[in-house]
Structure 1
């Protein structure tokens, strides 16, 4: 019994000493691993090139948690009759400086001759730094039946819109860069003379002329077209073109302008003023111009004169005015008999359907000359009476 008790105690002591070890190991496993290093990668390490054509291979240098690295780039395995160039920032380069936790992108352009052998070539790209060399193997196959390289694709949401000459026609177009290389793409539009265009990114409000799009990425562009106010009713073509990185794509859009009347009121002799006499009717000839792109129909005329005044129209209702045509209306204004001399404003309106136009006509009132003669008579009579009284009572 004593032997068993000692053995049991020894086992229990050993278990207590060993128990913390798994816990410590578990704590260490929960700590995230820190990745450090320098890499050279490409999205497509195997590619096909038709003879005589140029293919661009995107190379990515990544520095993770290391001091700034200067990488000298070497390309091996390119056949002698091929043309190739290593570019960065649009210029030919042979080295790149990659800062800590940064990425630099280079482009390797490969151009086999037109009579290149239909075979697969092994090409190796090396990046030498002060701490070592990283390599990237490429398999380049020359084939006549190579699939066409991706390009630009434009997909309008609504390619045809309708509105009036006062409308802003807004198109949403998806621009897909189906190439392995990001780039800056220029935006342009082909519209009829006098039409204005502007471009915006997505649903933003800032106007742009170009748009950066990543490799195999898609962006949305808003194309706004504003026609002149005097645009005639009809359908008009709109061409939207995106170009960049040697690629060009065009989307054919269209807009339909529906007619809209626009009436302008012009006073006599192109003035909005005239003279009238208190208590008497005076006729003024007004002109209604339809400057819109559709007939103006059932135009009713009305006025708001001062209290006690009367305004009549001949005619009061204009049946129709064709686009770019005009019609004359007699506006008959009768000031109040009690109106004193001075300037008065008469509001003249033309309304019907979508048309609503108003002008202020200044009417200068002149009082009748009979009132002046009567006033002079009263004054003369008063003078005679006063003179007679002086002569009669002055003798006493």
Structure 2
């Protein structure tokens, strides 16, 4: 028997042994990665990372925090905000600053970010972190300030008082101004008046008012007959999709001249009647 024939079985056995060792090593590596408590399955993500809104409206993000480890983790929520900005976190409606997650557990977090009134119209990067004792999970959000909404309702002169006579009507001019930078749409005017009073508006609806623009609204205010003289209040309210405002008026109602003369005439007639009665029956 040759030497080669003696060594062939030995080489084949050694080859099989090396294959088995390689297979077991690969299996242990996969198992170790699967059982790693710091595996990459942990994450902090948001359904939308870029939201556009007006400066006076909050940015609302919906985030998901997942603990991919096998052990419980307490994640502290941290953020780096521009000056004047504010942020809050809510889990199941309750405001929180940290989240306790069991191994493999996921929590939904509602994030609300508010910009200051003087924030410039541009994109702001908001870095947020969920940090535990062993992991730090980053989340980067983008808040795009597109401008501001605002409105004011007054009169061209700023005077908010009027004088009317009972049974008459008067035209009042209201000045509506868009004090923001974004257009206002679907605007309407309503009133709160004493019982029996009436108000009509021209125009009664404004479809669109651009930023910084003004419009004049004529109000015809009617006071019913027999209204008692005195001070009354009338409130006019602006309503719309993105803004609202109010103008509160002080209205002084006086009686008409005719009513005054009728009153005096009644008094004179009453006095004359008393005088006649006294003259007629006073001698008996």
* TM-score (ref. length: structure 1): 0.47
Name 1:383's counterpart in structure 2: 271
Q: Which has the higher contact order (CA 8 A, sep 6+)?
A: 2
Distance 2:160 2:111 in 1: 38
CA distance in 1: counterparts of 2:196 and 2:100, whole angstroms: 70
1:301–1:155 Cα change, 3 Å: closer
Alpha carbons of 1:262 and 1:280: their partners in 2 closer, same or farther (altered >3 Å)? same
- Bigger Cα Rg: 1
Q: Secondary structure at the match of 1:199?
A: strand
**Which residue number corresponds to residue 112 of structure 1?**
none
Q: 1:199–1:221: 8 Å Cα contact kept in structure 2?
A: no
CA distance in 1, matches of 2:211, 2:260: 50
Q: Is the 8 A contact 2:49 2:61 kept in 1?
A: no
Which residue matches 2:124?
236
Corresponding residue to 1:276 among 164, 169, 173: 164
**Closer, same or farther in 2 for the Cα pair 1:267/1:257, shift >3 Å?**
same
Indicate the residue corresponding to 2:46 in structure 1.
Answer: 156
Query: Residue deviations 1:62-114, cap 9 Å, x none?
Result: xxxxxxxxxxxxxxxxxxxxxxxxxxxxxxxxxxxxxxxxxxxxxxxxxxxxx
Contact 1:276 1:363 in 2 (8 A): yes
Alignment equivalent of 2:113, drawn from 218, 221, 226: 226
Question: Is 1:188 paired with 2:58?
Answer: no
Q: 2:281, 2:96 → 1: CA distance?
A: 99
Distance 2:192 2:101 in 1: 60
Structure 1 residues 157 and 349, CA gap change in structure 2 (3 angstroms): closer
Give the paired residue count: 250
**1:248/1:392 Cα in 2 relative to 1: closer, same or farther (>3 Å)?**
closer
Q: Note if 1:332 corresponds to 2:223.
A: no
Are 2:62 and 1:171 equivalent residues in the alignment? Answer: yes
Structure 2, gaps ≥5 residues long: 1-28
Please give the residue correspondences for 1:278-297 in structure 2 after superposition, counting only pairs within 5 Å. 278-290=166-178, 294-297=182-185
- C-alpha distance 373-259 of structure 1, shift in aligned 2 (>3 A): same
Name the structure where strand makes up a greater proportion of residues: 1
**1:295-334 residue pairs with structure 2 within 5 A?**
295-297=183-185, 299-303=187-191, 309-313=197-201, 316-318=204-206, 320-323=208-211, 327-334=215-222
Q: CA deviation at 1:335?
A: 1.2
Query: 1:311-340: CA deviations, max 9, x gaps?
Result: 344555556544466555443323123433
Residue aligning to 2:7 = none
Deviation per CA, 1:291-319, whole angstroms, max 9, x where unpaired? 55622245343547567655344555556
Distance 2:166 2:271 in 1: 29
**SS of 2:125's equivalent?**
strand
- Asked if the contact 2:185–2:206 (Cα under 8 Å) also holds between the matched residues in 1, the reply is yes
Match of 1:207 in 2: 95
User: Could you say what secondary structure the match of 1:236 adopts?
Assistant: strand
Contact 2:166 2:255 survives alignment (8 Å): yes
CA spacing shift, 1:198–1:382, aligned 2, 3 Å: closer
Q: TM-score normalised to the size of structure 2?
A: 0.61
The two structures, once aligned, show a CA RMSD in angstroms of 4.7
Using the alignment, how far apart are the partners of 2:44 and 2:196 within structure 1?
67
| C-alpha distance in structure 2 between counterparts of 1:301 and 1:224, whole Å | 35
* Matched ranges for 1:261-272 at <5 A: 261-266=149-154
Distance 2:189 2:233 in 1: 17
Aligned mates of 1:392, 1:242 — CA distance in 2: 104
Structure 2: distance between partners of 1:266 and 1:368: 28
